């Protein structure tokens, strides 16, 4: 480990100019086998094969502690064996600038970097990780080294470079603990970027690679990743499991879900650069969750608001893009989400908020109608998307799906609509829901009838309590 902590700071001291010329020039001549290549903007310095560095260790993706001066962030493995790129300093120099330009376009921010990124290229070696990022702390902030083998899947260079750029933006002027990038953001931005620019990001054989199949419509690449599957829920995006990260099929669904989340997030907020503002906010926030709420205060008052917004957004995308690969399990998951409502409650006075899950029947019985109304409207929107999906699936034009379990699920969607639609319509038309005092007996009968029908459906889908 002493060599590890010696080589990386040396490179950055060289860039910063704080080094002893006589001692360090000798180190360069012994270790470097190619002339370093500086990229056009000056942010990237690409160095070819370096000998004498065997300090490759299997580091997990981690959130670093403030006590460490160097942190290793290991990007994910390549997703497949196709599209292997031969990487050298000139190719990487051009590719990094293209990747940066596209990343800044998606974030809608200007190029005002103040942290250089060294790219070290190594020969292929099974003992080494295909790529990783090293973050090293100096008195004036963090510096980054991207280590990559010279023959890898081209998307790995894109994904690793995007994460390094996001780290640089999120930690500008940061002299304290490194602000890590949430996986949903780095993979979401990368998936959008690859879908919109494709192989043109990484040149090969001194010629342009034009991909005739690429599309500037971000939803095309997202649909390809999800492949008719329902996007992941907010919790799965925020806290992906090791199983999801290491399984190629599950991770593609994660990437598609993250890209959809980022795509819709960048259209929200005040001004065109809100997504870039979110990355900048990492440096002024406790974590990315608080940064998200600071950046979008008008849209989200709490993470629960984010979850509810995402529930509608994801089911709308699913209903629009699901093909015959739609599964009963996916529809069941959406029904379960509709029949439950997560709320934040304080267990005692002055105690921190905790989460509690209510069934929809309990919400209708226990909450005043003014509080029920936004919940009901959201649930009905989700049901409408599922109902439209069921109509297309069961229609002759959609193949007239005959799978019994699927028919059962869409029948449950229809029954739930037949409970909620008239309930909300009649409650709203009474004009008495805002009155104080005793509840109108007609409303009491309406609530009890709707709650009983909901409990029957909840028992079928969620199970008896």
Residue 68, pLDDT score:
44
Residue 210, pLDDT score:
55
Tell which residue, 13, 62, 289, has the closest CA to residue 177.
62
Residue 12, pLDDT score:
36
Residue 48, pLDDT score:
84
Based on the domain organization, do 379 and 445 belong to the same domain? yes
Average pLDDT over residues 277-295: 92
- Domain-located, residue 284: yes
Residue 365, pLDDT score:
92
Residue 394, pLDDT score:
76
Distance, CA of 193 to CA of 214 (rounded, Å): 11
Count H helices, E strands: the chain?
A: 17, 10
pLDDT surpasses 50 at 44: yes
- Domain-located, residue 408: yes
Based on the domain organization, do 203 and 167 belong to the same domain? no
Based on the domain organization, do 159 and 290 belong to the same domain? no
Q: What total number of domains does the chain contain?
A: 3
- Domain-located, residue 309: no
- Domain-located, residue 264: yes
- Domain-located, residue 313: no
| Residue 173, burial from CB neighbour count under 10 angstroms (0-12, 13-18, 19+) | exposed
Residue pair 230/330 in contact (Cβ under 8 Å)? The answer is yes
Average pLDDT over residues 22-26: 28
Residue 448 domain boundaries: 322-461
Q: Which two tokens stand for residue 144?
A: 């980054």
Least confident range from 86-95, 259-268, 296-305, 437-446: namely: 437-446
**What percent of the chain clears pLDDT 90, i.e. is strictly above it?**
33
- Domain-located, residue 416: yes
Based on the domain organization, do 164 and 35 belong to the same domain? yes
Which strands make up the sheet holding 141-149, listed edge to edge?
37-38, 44-47, 117-122, 141-149, 131-138, 70-73
Q: What is the maximum span of the chain, computed from C-alpha positions, in angstroms?
A: 92
Based on the domain organization, do 56 and 78 belong to the same domain? yes
Distance, CA of 326 to CA of 409 (rounded, Å): 12
Residue 396, pLDDT score:
64
Least confident range from 218-222, 337-341, 412-416: namely: 218-222
Based on the domain organization, do 290 and 187 belong to the same domain? yes
- Domain-located, residue 380: yes
Residue pair 33/121 in contact (Cβ under 8 Å)? The answer is no
Residue 15, pLDDT score:
36
Based on the domain organization, do 436 and 362 belong to the same domain? yes
Average pLDDT over residues 209-234: 74
Question: In this structure, is the dihedral angle defined by the CA atoms of residues 244, 250, 251 and 254, taken in order, positive or negative?
Answer: negative
Categorize the per-residue pLDDT at 282 as very low, low, confident or very high, splitting at 50, 70 and 90.
Answer: very high
pLDDT surpasses 60 at 18: no
Categorize the per-residue pLDDT at 393 as very low, low, confident or very high, splitting at 50, 70 and 90.
Answer: confident
Which one has a higher pLDDT value, 324 or 251?
Answer: 251
How many angstroms from the chain centroid is the CA of residue 22? 47
Categorize the per-residue pLDDT at 56 as very low, low, confident or very high, splitting at 50, 70 and 90.
Answer: very low
**Which of residues 172, 197, 225 is at a domain's end?**
172
Based on the domain organization, do 284 and 332 belong to the same domain? no
Based on the domain organization, do 59 and 200 belong to the same domain? no
Based on the domain organization, do 162 and 207 belong to the same domain? no
Based on the domain organization, do 157 and 214 belong to the same domain? no
pLDDT surpasses 50 at 311: yes
Residue 448, pLDDT score:
93
Based on the domain organization, do 10 and 110 belong to the same domain? yes
- Domain-located, residue 311: no
Categorize the per-residue pLDDT at 291 as very low, low, confident or very high, splitting at 50, 70 and 90.
Answer: very high
**Which of residues 140, 172, 204 is at a domain's end?**
172
């Amino acid at each position: 480990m002493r060599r590890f902590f010696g080589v990386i700071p040396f490179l950055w001291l060289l860039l910063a100019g704080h080094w002893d010329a006589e001692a360090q020039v000798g180190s360069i001549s012994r270790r470097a086998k190619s002339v370093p290549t500086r990229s056009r903007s000056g942010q990237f310095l690409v160095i070819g094969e370096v000998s004498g560095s065997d300090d490759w260790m299997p580091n997990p993706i981690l959130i670093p502690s403030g006590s460490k001066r160097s942190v290793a962030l290991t990007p994910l493995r390549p997703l497949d064996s196709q599209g292997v790129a031969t990487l050298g300093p000139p190719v990487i120099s051009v590719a990094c600038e293209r990747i940066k330009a596209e990343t800044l376009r998606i974030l809608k921010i200007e190029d005002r970097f103040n942290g250089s990124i060294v790219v070290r290229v190594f020969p292929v070696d099974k003992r080494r990780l295909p790529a990783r990022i090293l973050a090293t702390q100096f008195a004036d902030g963090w510096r980054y080294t991207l280590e990559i083998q010279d023959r890898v899947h081209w998307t790995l260079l894109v994904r690793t470079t995007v994460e390094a750029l996001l780290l640089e933006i999120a930690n500008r002027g940061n002299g304290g603990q490194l602000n890590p990038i949430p996986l949903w953001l780095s993979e979401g931005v990368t998936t959008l970027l690859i879908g919109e620019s494709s192989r043109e990001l990484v040149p090969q054989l001194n010629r342009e690679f034009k991909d005739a199949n690429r599309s500037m419509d971000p939803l095309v690449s997202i649909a390809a990743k999800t492949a008719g599957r329902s996007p992941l829920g907010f919790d799965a995006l925020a806290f992906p499991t090791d199983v999801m990260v290491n399984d190629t099929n599950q991770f593609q669904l994660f990437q598609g879900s993250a890209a959809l989340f980022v795509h819709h997030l960048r259209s929200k907020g005040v001004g065109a650069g809100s997504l870039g503002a979110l990355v900048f906010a990492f440096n002024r926030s406790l974590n990315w969750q608080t940064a998200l709420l600071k950046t979008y205060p008008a849209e989200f008052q709490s993470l629960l608001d984010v979850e509810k917004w995402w529930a509608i957004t994801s089911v709308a995308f699913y209903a629009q893009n699901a093909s015959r690969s739609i599964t009963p399990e996916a529809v069941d998951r959406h029904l379960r989400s509709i029949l439950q409502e997560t709320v934040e409650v304080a267990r005692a006075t002055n105690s921190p908020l905790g989460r509690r899950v209510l069934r929809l029947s309990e919400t209708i019985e226990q909450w005043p109608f003014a509080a029920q109304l936004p919940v009901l409207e959201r649930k009905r929107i989700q049901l409408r998307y599922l109902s439209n999906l069921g109509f297309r699936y069961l229609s002759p034009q959609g193949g007239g799906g005959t799978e019994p379990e699927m028919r059962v699920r869409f029948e449950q969607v229809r029954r739930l609509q037949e409970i909620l639609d008239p309930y909300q319509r009649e409650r709203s038309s009474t004009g008495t829901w805002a009155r104080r005092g005793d509840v109108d007996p007609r409303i009491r009968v309406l609530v009890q009838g709707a709650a009983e029908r909901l409990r029957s459906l909840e028992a079928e889908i969620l199970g008896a309590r």
